[in-house]
Amino acid sequence: MPPKWTTQNIPDMNSKVVIVTGANSGVGYEAAKELARKGAQTILACRSLDKARAALSQIQTEIPGAAAEVLPLDLTSLDSVRQFAAAFKAKYTRLDVLLNNAGIMMVPYGKTADGFERQFGTNHLGHFALTGLLLDLLLATPGARVVNVSSNAHKRGDLDFDNLMFEGGAGYDPTRAYGRSKLANLLFTYELQRRLTAAASSTLAVAAHPGVSRTNLTHYLTERSWLIKLGTAVFIRTLQSAAMGALPLLRAAVDPQVIGGQYYGPKGPGETRGYPVVVQSTRASHDEEAARRLWQVSAELTGVHYL
């Protein structure tokens, strides 16, 4: 049996530049910390500057001399995404890893600043735009990677192009919307890899999911009723740590054996916990026609066109 992949397998990251979105907490924080520990110039791309600065302080306390910094990024605003990309390019000339981790889960219906349904807009469209705006640096950096974070929830996801974002709340269900956004993450990853391959680029597009880990994404679950709050509190105690949940993301980002278009997740029962391995996603996530249509729609909605 091959050895378990852990943070000890992360190679030297000195001279590497990485971006981790949503790095102020949960698996994003753990991933950013371990990349910084290995010497990467690590950018914590976060909406809340207060939380991001607190996370940065924790990292630098644990890892004196860590090369890490905070740059503001609000994925619910295309203006913010563009400002982030411009600020990053003004300072850096390479990008080795773009870890698209930030996300929201099962929130009530609402819209982003650009009028997109919140979960689809944050989890998919914001990252689609960010990746496109940084793609020139990724292509110019040998062996660069884009890692998109999906979820087991993609298995319950569906795409309805006639009502992609539950306009006006029509048919909106928080769980269904979350699954749709996570399916979109995978469709985007696989289509991006096909386009990178066609362009003969060394840049890889890879996906990962953290299993079921203790993070703040369960916030809205605990607000629905006292019974759900009690049940969720008990359930959370059984979950694996955010540090374990970060391992599939880290392996996808740095393992030299990774192949573009792979999907990493925990090895344990139901992919809920365990050490990271290559896992399989649904047939729907490999629907090339749906992926091409989603790409076109995403480009039209965000105004970001690439490859």
Residues classed as catalytic: 178
Sign of CA dihedral 253, 258, 264, 267: negative
Query: How far is Cα 274 from Cα 266, in angstroms, rounded to an integer?
Result: 5
Tokens describing residue 148: 């998109």
**Rounded distance, CA 215 to CA 244, Å?**
11
Which residue blocks in the chain are alpha helix, DSSP H? Answer: 26-37, 49-62, 78-91, 118-120, 126-140, 174-198, 226-236, 242-245, 247-254, 288-302
CA distances from 147 to 31, 66, 97, 187, 259 (A): 12, 22, 7, 13, 12
Q: What is the rounded distance in angstroms from the CA atom of residue 252 to the CA atom of residue 217?
A: 21
17 beta partners: 41
Residues 210, 131: Cα–Cα separation, whole Å: 21
The 3-state DSSP class for residue 132 equals helix
Q: How far apart are CA 111 and CA 165, in angstroms?
A: 9
DSSP 185-230: HHHHHHHHHHHHHHTT-S-EEEEE---SB-SGGGTTGGGS-HHHHH
